[in-house]
Structure 1
Amino acid sequence: THPAMRNSARSLARLYDALHDGKRRETLTSATDTGSGGYTHKYFRVAKSSGELAAQQTAIAEWSRMSYGWMGRTPDYKAALMNTLGANADWYGPFKDNALSWHKRAQEAVL
């Protein structure tokens, strides 16, 4: 990595480290719905209730607070797209399995 990017890389690493921080884990993560038994950032799960949607908003806001709002393209940037792959996989017709595979990969790896 070019030295000019070190602070951005460090800030992004802190966001991922927070997923493993006992103080923030309840706010930031939930169990995956892929059957892996793991956990993921809340915004990588499809919200099925208003409470889950509010919890996702809280998790995104927590990450924003951690970077003081200066990290504009954190991983939650594409989470909405990734969630549609899992929630609306039938829409992709013959590519349904690909959509589900990408959704699972994004959720389990917190891409």
Structure 2
Amino acid sequence: MGDLRKFYSLATIIFVGRSLVPMGGSDMAEAAALGKCTLFGPYASNFKQTVDALLAGKGAIMVKDKEDLLKQMQKCLTEPDFAKEIARNGQEVIRKNQGATQKTIDQIAKFLNPA
């Protein structure tokens, strides 16, 4: 993922691949965490929790198909404030959810080993 991260760092707007066709998608968390305006298609079932969190926090754009992708990319390019807002929101969503696994483990441990 090192090379992809380098490419992400150079971009302003990122479309996360494998998501316009039923392939399960690719993880959009890294793009969002870098503060990039992140777009992906409807086939991101492998990353449902991330998708749900980003969409709820208005931190990414889910496109329906290639035509919608073109439309949304054009909007992001012609409305830079809109793209920046999506990017900021996405970065904040990822920041808020960092450490979620450890928090879950801590809660389970409390349940299994009550004081």
- Using structure 2 for the length normalisation, give the TM-score: 0.32
- Using structure 1 for the length normalisation, give the TM-score: 0.32
**Between structures 1 and 2, the one with greater helix share:** 1
Query: Rg: which structure is higher?
Result: 2
